[in-house]
Chains A and B, each alone.
Chain A
Amino acid sequence: MTAAGRARRIVWLRRAVQTAGLLLFLGLLIATRPREGAEASPWLQVWFDLDPLVLTGTWLATHSVAGLSLLALITVAATLILGRVFCGWLCPLGTLHNAISALRRRGAARRDMGRFSPWQRLKLGLLAALLVMALFGVHWLGVLDPFGLLTRSMTTAVLPAVDVIVGDSATAIYAADPRLGSFPLTRISEPVYRFFRDRVFSGQRPAFDGAMLVALIFAAALVLNLVRPRFWCRYVCPLGALLGLFSRRAPLRLRQTDACTHCGRCAMSCPAAAQPEKPGEWLPGECFGCWNCVAACPVDAVDFAWEPFWRRPRAGSDGVTRRGAIKALAAGVAGLLVLRLPPQARARAYHPALIRPPGARPEREFLQRCVQCGLCMKACPTNALQPTLLEAGLEGLWTPMLVPRLGYCEYECKLCGEVCPTEAIQRLTLAAKKETRIGLAVIDTTRCLPYAYGRSCIVCEEHCPVPDKAIYFVETEVPLRGGGTRTLKQPKVDADRCIGCGICEAKCPFRDRAAIRVTSAGESRHPDNQPILPGAEPLDAGGADPAADSYGDPYGG
């Protein structure tokens, strides 16, 4: 069999592997949801564990490694032997880019698209800059890491869009109840709807603040494939750049022979612009190992072959210069300073709305680990975890924040810590999680109905999940407008008991701005951000529990 014939089979094999990888990614993402069973599987985050960029960045920032992240060494080993096959064969974002690239118009412009551009060095610059930042403790890798980008985009933008399409269509069909003859369409729409609602979204209707920005960036990354195939992978992806460094001496190399007729088909088929068409100038740091060029060659002039790794590959240069490296490092330092200079980044201020999920490490350590992937937001059963915009500074862009107006921290849940790929949110036992304070409820007496409007309302107390209630009542005689008084139960917060879960704020009848709101003060993770000296003046010392009604035992005799 000719080299091209063999390569065509290999290309089909690659497509099958890519499809499987993408399906595995989507399957794991969808499985990252509240479900039966005690603990979330550690394999849900396996893509991040396989990502050496996450490993490197976390290690540089924290001098530690998380969970199964040493699996990334498998990726490194594979790259050292086979080149950037992770990009070409496995990466689900790369596969998506491949698919979009295939939609390009065929024709004359294609030869151009396969030509190497010096701008492809940009990704190396980004990698260097991001690693410099990580070394000094600013972990912004997740913004550009392919798994951070893809998971965040799918979670906050794509899946909610699917939910809107499926949910609204099904609801419209349900309301109109159209029939084909005697066959009700709801017979089809309802099972589909229920499948998505119960199996994919686990009963939530997810919606995320700032999803528009994430969606625009994701859409741009996809659309740019029409400008250059796999634009993102060629020019931007810092993981691709890192793997490119490992692949330069890989023993599986493209052998280019004299049989070449310079027809250029290999270049047109090359998604990486790795110069298969220039004998002796193939770029192993760019090549995805996709075998397209071998399959496209009509004269078998190119083929992959094993060479001993100690022999220098016959390869071209991407033209990385010392000057370029210095520019990248300087950019990293500049980026570091921009992100680090605001007062909040220097731990001199605390944002009241920055309520981190339970188990989140102290802010500095948290930011050194969080890769902004949004898996915690995907897992959160109440849709309470939302991506920040600037609440945590630009440094903390798209990190998770609890927004009690939109949801609350479910008392019996600890899923966010279980799915976090970098242990930015630590795994807690349920008992420990229930004791972890993420904030403190504050009553706004200018809004609260029993204080401000002389009406009874106990919704916050009713929902408070702390077994002995962190919200209690003080019965107060309130003067009425027309004279006379009314006795009302006015809620108060027991600061020693409140864990800041936010269900009081989520359920308050004031829908626009709740009359009871959670602030980040009091969070367990920050000894400084504390208004209360715990236990200093216990409210119910020695007395009856103020929230308990008297209970007479009817059978007590």
Chain B
Amino acid sequence: MIRTTRRSFLKQTAALGGAALLPPGLALGQDAAPPALAIARAGGERSADAELGPLARRLTREALAALGGMERFVSKGDVVWIKPNIGWNRAPELAACTNPDVVAELVTLCLAAGAKTVKVGDHPCHQAAQTYRTSGIAAAAAAAGAEVVFLDASRFRTVALGGERLKEWALYPEIIEADLVINVPVAKHHGLARATLAMKNYMGVIGGRRNAWHQDLDQCLVDITAYMKPRLCVLDAVRVLTAHGPVGGNPDDVKRLDTVAAATDIVALDALGAELLGHRPVDIASIRAAEAAALGTADWRSLPHAEREVS
């Protein structure tokens, strides 16, 4: 098993990481590709739980800045759909849903980059009115200027996916019609998939009998990811759920990693997330399947990437 300590990680990425502190493009000359993955983690003193909100916002801001800024993805007048995990009626401290401050900061960044409308919504497992509220996401997103959207069961539309397992499925029109969908999962344990990360987060844009997906989860995730063509994914690993996922509920299963990563390569991001949860990416079947389907690169270290330490 590959164990990456913070020290070795910093050493490995020192050159790239250091270069990434410069404005993108300048670091490796004008021709260098912009980073495909950027990691922001808290450095220095571990902050108190009460100060986690502002820290989550700074981490998000830095991760996006390191990836080239939100302007790289959002054009003036765009409609952006932010798709956090709002699946469960659980408070933010239990890490079953995406951190509300990560979501709120993304809303702010999108609006600052010129987005006309930023919508935030998910198709949750528990009742939406409750998960939106308990997770803190509805309030935080609305305060940042987003339109909080409840998905209506009657308004999903069957779309041709052309996947290997999924020829067609019910998707939410408002999401797939958005100019940009930002996929914002929280890193969690999952009983079947071992880890639930960005690809699995797309289960919240679909309707229908999605509980049947578990019979071939990896291929279904590959099919939906291929259809969604992710351009920007942001992984919330501020708090992660290490056991009894995806719903959790025991505070002892929650661990603070104080990390936010953003990527254009969803497979790379999931691989990083798997490592953060203590797995080798190769042990996560959906990551293997997605790499085989050429949706991205599990060896995220081989990609241009950046790391920033946030105090």
Chain A interfacial positions (CB closer than 8 Å to B) = 34, 36, 167-168, 171, 174-175, 197-198, 202-205, 381-382, 410-413, 449, 455-459, 461-469, 473, 489, 507-509, 511, 545, 547-555, 557
Contacts and interface: CB of A to CB of B under 8 A. Distances in A.
Interface string B207-249: 0010110110100000000000000000000000011101111
B167 interface: no
B247 A455 contact: no
Contact of A467 (B89, B125, B133, B249): B249
Given A381-B129, A462-B247, A551 B278 contact: yes
A459 B244 contact: no
Contacts, number: 119
B233 to A, nearest CB: 20
19 contacts: A171-B155, A202-B129, A203-B129, A410-B126, A411-B89, A412-B89, A412-B130, A413-B130, A456-B217, A457-B215, A458-B192, A459-B214, A473-B191, A509-B211, A509-B214, A551-B278, A552-B278, A554-B275, A557-B5
B41 to A, nearest CB: 10
A550 B280 CA distance: 12
Nearest to A471: B191
Contacts of A468: 244, 250
Interface of B: 1, 3-6, 89-90, 125-130, 133-134, 150, 152-155, 189-192, 194, 209, 211-212, 214-215, 217, 242-244, 246-250, 253, 255, 257, 275-279
B249 A465 contact: yes
Specify which of A461, A468, A550, A551 lies most central, judged by the most chain B CB atoms within 10 Å of its CB. Answer: A551
List of 4 A-B pairs having minimum Cβ-Cβ separation, nearest first: A203-B129, A552-B278, A467-B249, A467-B250
A167 to B, nearest CB: 7
A456 B192 contact: yes
B186 to A, nearest CB: 15
Given A204-B127, A410-B127, 4 more contacts: A204-B129, A449-B215, A457-B214, A464-B247
A456 B215 contact: yes
B164 to A, nearest CB: 17
Specify which of A205, A382, A548, A554 lies most central, judged by the most chain B CB atoms within 10 Å of its CB. Answer: A554
A306 to B, nearest CB: 53
A101 B242 CA distance: 65
B16 to A, nearest CB: 19
A412 B190 contact: no
B87 to A, nearest CB: 10
B211 A203 contact: no
B130 A34 contact: yes
A473 B190 CA distance: 12
A550 B242 CA distance: 9
Contacts of A197: 150, 152
B89 A547 contact: no
Contact of B249 (A381, A466, A549): A466
A549 B5 contact: no
Contacts of A469: 244
Nearest to B89: A412
A168 B5 CA distance: 56
Contacts of B275: 554
A473 to B, nearest CB: 7
Contacts of B4: 554
B244 A382 contact: no
Nearest to B247: A465
Contacts of B134: 412
Contacts of B192: 456, 458, 462, 489
A489 B194 CA distance: 12
A554 B257 CA distance: 10
Contact of A203 (B150, B249, B279): B150
Contacts of B190: 462
B1 A459 contact: no
Contacts of B126: 410
A162 B253 CA distance: 44
Contacts of A548: 189, 243-244, 253
B119 to A, nearest CB: 14
A194 to B, nearest CB: 8
Contacts of B246: 462
Contact of B129 (A198, A449, A461, A547): A198
A507 B217 CA distance: 16
A551 B249 contact: no
A480 B4 CA distance: 40
Contacts of A381: 127, 129-130
Contacts of A410: 89, 126-127, 130
Nearest to B278: A552
A36 B133 contact: yes
Nearest to A381: B127
